[in-house]
Structure 1
Amino acid sequence: MSHSRQWFPEEKPTVSVVCHTYNHESFVRRALEGFLIQATGFPVEIIVHDDASTDRTPEIVQEFAVQYPECIFPILQEENQFSRGRRPKEFTFPRARGEFIAQCEGDDFWTDPGKLQKQVDAMRRHPHVNLCVHPAMRVAVGRGRQRKGFDHGDRECVVRPEAVIGRHDQFAPTASFLMRREAALEMLDWWLGSFPPPPVGDFFTEAIVGRNGVLYLPCIMAGYRRRVPNSYTKRFRQASSEELETRLARMLHFVERLRGMDGIPECALDQRLAYIRLNYALQFLAIGDRERFVHTSGKVRLRGHTCLQKALATMRRSTLAFAAGRRGFQILRRARD
């Protein structure tokens, strides 16, 4: 295939596309092709980090890098860095030369050749905003089922931080993130200030980079794959009770660290902390760990969710209600998957 524009290495890129891969041999080719079809009026560089995949992902990345040496720059690890507590953005973000950084994991993909141009143009219209996002199609791996996700309306708008932070789940897909480089590096400095890092990074990108508001474009311009092996969701659901307990403590710790940061509302943080506890309580429910469910759900305080609070309290009091709630939750999860 040929890409939509000649990008010359002597030009400073306007956008640095950052792609993180690990055992994505079935998906990474489409991700790379989605970068290469971008039709822009500015130069783009593509930085691909592979974390010592055990499949053919590094070979595919290298194949593209050889074919497009003027714009694809691979970082191929020989030892897995994630297992050593290091995250891919530690290697990719500092290498980025662009005014903006666009993210897309190796198992996701872009569908619109005008994606980068539309986002950069929108960011020029809103110079005070550091993060631009958009909806994506949710694609269930192995099922072929697709549905629209991360839909927040049909018009361009700047979403306030409290609406982004105080949510039950992620506001936008990673494949939609376009950030100003300076704001992304500031977030990375905060990230690197602790070891080990947070168990999940997208929320902190939305909270820290998006604390001036998040620019939302209503166009579907990417695909977001679900049920991917080695994904965060898969690892979360397969984790033991002890691992979940450790992750929960780390997540609560890092969210608490956001208190006092300019632009991040306290009330939104309180709401997010409650949702985090709820997510982990439901996973303890799913795996049948009643003791940890009781402990974790007992600390959930959600405004405007009286029925949910009563259901949690009933399952804490009664083993029969806990067993019934577990069966119901498992059925609901399978239906949503």
Structure 2
Amino acid sequence: MIAYNVEPYIGEAIDSVFSQQTTFSWELVIGEDCSTDNTLRIIKQYRQKHPDKIRILEREKNLGLTPNSIDTQNNCRGKYIALLDGDDFWTDSNKLQILVAFLESHPEYSAAAHQSTIIKGTLDNPVRKFGAESDTDYGINDTITHRKFHTSSLVYRREFWVKSGGIPSVISSNERAIYPMLAIYGPIKYFGKDMCVYRLAPTGLNSRITSKELETDLRMLPWLKSLSSQFPKNKFRSFLHLCIFSYPRFVPIKQLCKHYVLFLLYSFSYFPKNLGDIKYGTIEFFRKTRG
């Protein structure tokens, strides 16, 4: 679990972990990233009650979202790692048992995930479901474009984190790296059962992140390519360039044009299957040029 300034929500997140009914033991590792509110104090109160279950990684300085997530996963010791953001929570007490039991009986899979509900603030203010309604499998090509499931639904084999050397720390998005990395080692099982809540931040990430920050995600390509010579790098490049110019609220015109052209160039690697992305990217390009 990672936590930064989530005082109103961290208790609900931790409670959802302790609600899990499992036949195996587990440890809750929390990367607390120098919150300026009472997040750390609340976490320590839980640790006082459960000293054998909670391990806190208390930062000396703020690392930032991705470095904090990477270091927290580096400090995990179990056979499996289950991700949970400090402002999200699990809604099914059998969630861990279901996913771990599947992975135990299906060694060819690298990970498992499931559907989530997106909310604003509280459960009585749902936005929509996140993910497909039915069970399916996701491979590399599914994981290098738009997200198919939320991070807090994921359980994966820690051996692949170790084998990959861990995610590069010089990128902006943990998610865009970990999903294709896991899919390189085996398919990801997706369950259509809703077992998690994804809480939208009061101010969306795309209102704060810049195209310059997103450009750092291009640095993960050599790492992914080193894990598999068959990795579809041009398709992934196309999607990264699409994110760089379409995701931030404001993009300087020079960067906007540069990444739109590169998006179209690399799109030819999987044309015409990406007509929807090309249409979306073109609409975003002209919308931003007018803005």
Name the TM tier (shorter chain).
0.7 to 0.9
**Partner AA of 1:191 in structure 2:** I
Residue 170 (structure 2) pairs with residue 197 (structure 1): yes
Equivalent in the alignment of 1:77: 59
TM-score of the two chains, using structure 1 as the length reference: 0.75
259, 276, 281: which one aligns with 2:245 = 281
Distance 2:137 2:279 in 1: 35
Using the TM superposition, give the Cα deviation of residue 300 of structure 1 relative to its aligned residue in structure 2, in angstroms: 1.4
- Relative distance call for 1:140 and 1:256 in structure 2 (3 A) is farther
Distance 2:284 2:59 in 1: 47
Equivalent in the alignment of 1:8: none
Distance 2:151 2:277 in 1: 29
Using the TM superposition, give the Cα deviation of residue 128 of structure 1 relative to its aligned residue in structure 2, in angstroms: 1.6
Residue 149 (structure 2) pairs with residue 185 (structure 1): no
- Give the gaps of 5 or more residues in structure 1: 1-18, 327-337
Report how many residues are paired: 283
- Determine if contact 2:83/2:154 at 8 Å carries over to the other structure: yes
180, 202, 208: which one aligns with 1:238 = 208
Distance 1:42 1:25 in 2: 29
Residue 278 (structure 2) pairs with residue 299 (structure 1): no
- Relative distance call for 1:97 and 1:290 in structure 2 (3 A) is closer
Using the TM superposition, give the Cα deviation of residue 199 of structure 1 relative to its aligned residue in structure 2, in angstroms: 0.9
**Partner AA of 1:146 in structure 2:** V
Residue 194 (structure 2) pairs with residue 220 (structure 1): yes
Distance 1:198 1:288 in 2: 18
SS at match of 1:205: helix
**Partner AA of 1:179 in structure 2:** Y
- CA deviations 1:170-196 (Å, max 9, x no partner) are 232111111112112234x2435xxx5
Using the TM superposition, give the Cα deviation of residue 96 of structure 1 relative to its aligned residue in structure 2, in angstroms: 2.3
Equivalent in the alignment of 1:61: 43
Using the TM superposition, give the Cα deviation of residue 289 of structure 1 relative to its aligned residue in structure 2, in angstroms: 3.0
Using the TM superposition, give the Cα deviation of residue 80 of structure 1 relative to its aligned residue in structure 2, in angstroms: 1.6
Identity %, equivalent residues? 19
Equivalent in the alignment of 1:261: 227
TM-score of the two chains, using structure 2 as the length reference: 0.86
Residue 147 (structure 2) pairs with residue 170 (structure 1): yes
SS at match of 2:96: helix
Distance 2:7 2:77 in 1: 27
- CA deviations 1:137-171 (Å, max 9, x no partner) are 011238923311122x413x432222222x2x223
Distance 1:175 1:321 in 2: 32
SS at match of 2:224: coil
Higher radius of gyration, 1 or 2: 1
- Relative distance call for 1:38 and 1:252 in structure 2 (3 A) is same
- Relative distance call for 1:205 and 1:263 in structure 2 (3 A) is farther
Residue 27 (structure 2) pairs with residue 39 (structure 1): no
Aligned pairs for 1:80-229 within 5 A: 80-82=62-64, 86-90=67-71, 92-141=72-121, 144-151=125-132, 153-155=133-135, 157-165=136-144, 167=145, 169-187=146-164, 189-192=165-168, 196-211=169-184, 212-229=186-203
- Compare 199-208 and 142-151 and name the one that shifted more: 142-151
Distance 2:53 2:240 in 1: 39
Using the TM superposition, give the Cα deviation of residue 63 of structure 1 relative to its aligned residue in structure 2, in angstroms: 0.7
Using the TM superposition, give the Cα deviation of residue 127 of structure 1 relative to its aligned residue in structure 2, in angstroms: 0.5
- Give the gaps of 5 or more residues in structure 2: none
**Partner AA of 2:256 in structure 1:** F
- Determine if contact 1:298/1:313 at 8 Å carries over to the other structure: no
Using the TM superposition, give the Cα deviation of residue 87 of structure 1 relative to its aligned residue in structure 2, in angstroms: 2.8
**Partner AA of 2:216 in structure 1:** R
